Structure 1
């Protein structure tokens, strides 16, 4: 979270297309985590075995993220899980290739089989224990991978983090005092009728889920203190 890295500008590039997404993930990891290196990706043999088992090729964008960061636990499975190539499967409706699951398997994310041959297909999600219907999540797999990395990074920290429940007054302050990041709104699986939104400010990155919960990660204790000052209330961490 250094001054020379403008997350807003970098993310604006990252959400444009697949090439922008992969470049953003590299730059984001350089600045916010540890650099991506060759050993962080899944190898070709693993991916070929998965495709042989499935009977079709993985979508190119899904293949690309496995090749880039498929072994990076901090960026792919701190909270929810990017499935390994040997775990990717077609769901029980026979309609969706599932590649990511919530940590208690409450929610699933996947690519519709009708779009699996597209270079960068849309991603859908569902609450597995509550419904069989899949809902739109994000319009491109590469965009869903950007979301995954942001979220897994947010929840992988054990220092300089904080979270709290939100009310209408706190949401209003958040919208006024912090800068919206150019990640498009997308459904929060825990409250699908309201979106997840991303913000930054005071040296921190913030994720707001469905106007009900706020997560914060900072580079230092000063950042957390600044957020708590701007948004007074009951913080849990």
Structure 2
């Protein structure tokens, strides 16, 4: 459950160390446009995500900017990093590969309307 504070901020992780890990993952995800892509993930592809990518051991947490993108969950495989924002009906996956070929594998694993 996301609770807004009186200043408009939403707490999203209960420990500073987890917040730092999440920040480093986010910065690495969005760092290079040629190795990044995003896709609205249909519900039917969620089992494929779970089958092909391991869940990163960070707790579910609120999207810092909006409750709509909550919860945030991280997944990984060798050379590939994914962030799933939200649950059913409006779920997005943000993806990064170490090389272009890794990004192509992600797109093949989760076929959809990729942005880039």
8 Å CA contact 1:125–1:137 kept in 2: the answer is: no
8 Å CA contact 1:217–1:224 kept in 2: the answer is: yes
Q: 1:206 aligns with which of 71, 78, 82?
A: 82
Aligned to 1:165: 40
Q: Are residues 157 and 193 of structure 1, via their aligned partners in 2, closer, same or farther at CA, if it must alter by over 3 Å? A: closer
Aligned to 1:153: 28
Distance, in Å, in 1 between the alignment partners of 2:9 and 2:111 is 38
1:193, distance to aligned residue in structure 2 (A): 7.7
Aligned to 2:101: 222
Distance, in Å, in 1 between the alignment partners of 2:48 and 2:67 is 21
Q: Are residues 218 and 125 of structure 1, via their aligned partners in 2, closer, same or farther at CA, if it must alter by over 3 Å? A: farther
Aligned to 1:194: 70
1:148, distance to aligned residue in structure 2 (A): 1.1
More relative contact order, 1 or 2 (CA 8 Å, 6+ apart): 2
Q: Deviations over 1:76-118 (max 9, x none)?
A: xxxxxxxxxxxxxxxxxxxxxxxxxxxxxxxxxxxxxxxxxxx
1:194, distance to aligned residue in structure 2 (A): 3.3
Q: Please, what TM-score do these two structures have when normalized by structure 2?
A: 0.81
- RMSD over equivalenced CA pairs, Å: 2.5
Could you list the runs of 5+ residues in structure 1 that have no partner in the other structure?
1-123
Q: Are residues 134 and 191 of structure 1, via their aligned partners in 2, closer, same or farther at CA, if it must alter by over 3 Å? A: closer
Aligned length: 111
